[in-house]
Amino acid sequence: MSTSTDFADPRATTTLTVQIAAEADLLKVRAVLRSEAKEAGLNLTAATKFVTAGSELARNIFKYATHGQGVATIESTEVNGRRGVRATFRDEGPGIEDMEAAMRDGFSTADSLGLGLPGSRRLVDEFSIESDVGKGTTVTITQWSR
C-alpha cells in the first residue's frame, strides 16, 4: 500500500493505493475503504454501501483480471464544500466485450449471479466504467456525505 498527499490542492487529502494480487489484498481494500469513508464523514449506511460496492469491484479484479492483478486507489474528495470518498479500480485484464449486458442484473461470463457491476452501481452516488477489450477496465465510484 502506498500513500501520497497533494499539498498544492487544499481539497485533496491522502490518496491510498492498494495493489490487488492475492485474496488477502481484498481485506486490505475493505479496510482502506472503510477508513476513508469514515474520514470523509459518511454515515453508517452510506459507508456500508460504499465499502460493499468497492469490495465487489476489488473481487472482480481478483477474479477476472489477467493473473488476478490490479490496483485500487482510494481518496477523500471535496467539491463545493461537500465531502466524499472516491475509489478507482483498474486492471489490465481482458476487458468487457458487451458493456450493456455486463450492467444488466443476472449477466455473467463466469459462474456467478451476475449482480456485481449493476449492484455496485446502485449502491453509490456516482459510478463510471470504461473498458477496452484486451486492455482492461477502470471503474470509479464516489459516495458523498449526507
**Nearest-CA neighbor of 77 among 128, 127, 142?**
142
What is the Cα–Cα distance from 116 to 108, expressed in whole angstroms?
9
Q: Which residue has the higher pLDDT, 67 or 133?
A: 133
Write b or e for each residue in 50-84: b if 16 or more Cβ atoms lie within 10 A of its Cβ, otherwise e.
bbbbbbbbbbbbbebbeebbbbbbbbbbbeeeebb
Q: Look at residue 104 in the predicted model and tell me its pLDDT.
A: 72
Q: Residue 108 pLDDT more than 80? A: no
Q: Look at residue 107 in the predicted model and tell me its pLDDT.
A: 57
Confidence of residue 8 (pLDDT cuts 50, 70, 90): very low
2-144 maps to CATH 3.30.70.360:
no
DSSP tag of 96: -
Rg of the Cα trace of the chain?
A: 15
pLDDT in tens, 13-57: 679 999 999 999 999 999 999 999 999 999 999 999 999 999 999
Q: Which residue has the cell 476513508?
A: 36
What is the Cα–Cα distance from 37 to 40, expressed in whole angstroms?
5
**CA 30 to each of CA 47, 94, 96, 104, 128: distance values in angstroms, whole numbers, following the listed order:** 11, 24, 24, 25, 20
Q: Which residue has the higher pLDDT, 109 or 8?
A: 109
